[in-house]
Amino acid sequence: MTQKLSPQQIQLMKLLQVPTYALEQRIQEEMEDNPALEEDMQTAEESLDELTSDDDQQEEEFELDDYLEEYIEDDPTTYSQGSSSGGGMTEDDRRKMAVAQDDFSDYLEEQLAMRRLKSDRKEKIARQIIGSLDEDGYLRREIYSIIDDLMFAYNIELREEEVQEVLEIIQGFDPPGVGARSLQECLVIQTQKRLKKMEPDPDPDWLRVKVILEDYFDAFSKKHYSRLLKTLQCSEDELKTAIELITSLNPRPASAFSSGRASLQDQYIIPDFIVENKDGDLVLSLNSMNAPELQVNHQYQRMLKTYSDQKSAEGKPKKKQKEAAIFIKQKIDSARWFIDAIQQRQQTMYKTMYAILQYQREYFLTGDKSRIKPMILKDISAVTGLDISTISRVASAKYVQTEFGTKLLKDFFSESMENAEGEEVSTLEIKNVLNEIVDNENKRKPLSDQKLMKALKEKGYNVARRTVAKYRDQLSIPVARLRKEL
């Protein structure tokens, strides 16, 4: 015997991972795929009245045939598998049907059309290069890989010099830096374009930038400022100006295009949970967007009832009517499963957040980060009776709104350590202290991991140097030499 997840369980797990800002879109997609699902739930009495209305029953006699002509031919659902398949499209089906418009590639293609390359051979190379660029505008593939692709696709043999020549043409396109194969090349291309615009009287600061990027990029990236000052024979102020100009360049040429398609969560955060403090009582509620009103379309229910009545009256149904009935039943079942999954999502999310709220009650009352207790997924799993993987899905990319700000749910989860007094403290508390130490250090002489370890020990946190390095990485704090400033 083997264990298998039912379609309903899979659907619930996927919905648990969906944050509030994306839930509405997910529901809209489901309603577009399944016309038996609709919003604005009516009262039970109204539903019953509609189902038993004689006038409606008479209308359905011809509505069923209309439906067959209008919907079934366009629907991708197969009928040979029967209603047990669950109906509706899979995620793979959606991905196959969705065609994404690549604005960045189109922009480059327009410039290519205006350039009018002399041969069809060069056109093919250019289009292959454009198609190989990543979302940042970089060419991460080797030249020989481009040659192999073109050989396979068009059966043409190319020399590396030919591809390099076309690549340089594309590197001249807008935005500056497109087609670069490394950060260094990207910044050099942008600097060369700026200097070209300044001809015949280039700015000496930009000339210095060009020398740094072309000849001393390694020293610059490792912040070996003393070596640069000595090699370039410039003043500290001149080096500062050069560094400021370099940091003004765009390391991601295609960023303007990706930001145009930025998702809702990149613009502002929509909380999934809301916690209010009412005279010392913590009140938890779900964002209303988590609780949409959905129902099965009554017209579909009437269609199915009409079919059943016809079957009873006429005996064996026609093939077309049988297919229609199977189709309708699939859609209704799929709608009911989705509604049930949404309701289970609400209950699971509330149950999980309520357990977290009780566990971290002191923090939600005071807003003091030092009051956050060590808490792991297993702790909440034990309280709620839910599986650890379910807790993980609920905590993923979810936010809670408090009177102290909107917080990422996973930030409340942390391991425990003992401080100098033998008390259990959250690793989150240690990370906050580490952040403060780095913020207040002398940026001309930033602290090494060894010195950070000593600074934490002085504050009562006995942490190993390797642990300090791990926490520093998790906080996205660079190593000491990369934190150095002039």
pLDDT tens column, 61-117 = 444 444 444 444 444 443 333 333 334 444 444 443 333 335 888 899 989 988 878
- pTM of the predicted structure, to 2 decimals: 0.51
Together in a domain, 134 and 203 = no
Together in a domain, 314 and 426 = no
DSSP letter string, 92-106: HHHHHH-----HHHH
Please say which residue of 202, 220, 247 terminates a domain.
247
Residue pair 210/188 in contact (Cβ under 8 Å)? The answer is: yes
How far is residue 461's CA from residue 163's CA, in Å, rounded to a whole number? Answer: 57
Q: What is the CA 337 to chain-centroid distance, rounded?
A: 26
Look up the CATH number of the domain holding residue 431.
Answer: 1.10.10.60
Percentage of the chain lying above the pLDDT 90 cut: 30
Please say which residue of 364, 383, 413 terminates a domain.
413
156 domain residue, yes or no: yes
Together in a domain, 281 and 372 = yes
Q: Is 180 left (phi over 0), alpha (psi -120 to 50) or beta?
A: beta
Together in a domain, 408 and 420 = no
Whole-number pLDDT of residue 89: 42
351 domain residue, yes or no: yes
253 domain residue, yes or no: no
Tally of CB atoms within 10 A around 248? 10
Together in a domain, 112 and 225 = no
Question: What is the SS3 assignment for 211?
Answer: helix
* Residue 102 tokens, joined: 């690549």
Together in a domain, 424 and 469 = yes
The pLDDT tens digits of the residues spanning 333-379 come to 888 888 888 888 889 999 999 999 999 999 999 988 878 888 888 89
Together in a domain, 354 and 289 = yes
Of 222, 209, 235, nearest in space to 483 by CA: 222
Domain count, the chain: 4
Tally of CB atoms within 10 A around 356? 25
252 domain residue, yes or no: no
Greater confidence (366 vs 421) lies with 366
Together in a domain, 1 and 87 = yes
Of 15, 35, 11, nearest in space to 25 by CA: 15
What is the separation, in whole angstroms, between the first and last Cα of the chain?
67
Q: What is the CA 70 to chain-centroid distance, rounded?
A: 37
Whole-number pLDDT of residue 273: 92
Together in a domain, 15 and 67 = yes
Domain that holds residue 460: 416-483
374 domain residue, yes or no: yes
Helix and strand totals (H; E) in the chain: 25, 8
Whole-number pLDDT of residue 208: 94
Whole-number pLDDT of residue 4: 56
Question: Within 13 Å and on the Cβ side, how many CA atoms surround 305?
Answer: 17
Together in a domain, 114 and 81 = no
How far is residue 447's CA from residue 424's CA, in Å, rounded to a whole number? Answer: 27
- CA separation, residue 9 to residues 86, 221, 305 (Å): 12, 49, 28
176 domain residue, yes or no: no
254 domain residue, yes or no: no
DSSP 283: E
Together in a domain, 333 and 398 = yes
Please say which residue of 170, 195, 211 terminates a domain.
170
- CA angle 113/118/120 to nearest 5° reads 80
280 domain residue, yes or no: yes
What one-letter code names the amino acid at 351?
Answer: K
Whole-number pLDDT of residue 381: 92
Residue pair 180/193 in contact (Cβ under 8 Å)? The answer is: no
Of 428, 433, 419, nearest in space to 360 by CA: 428
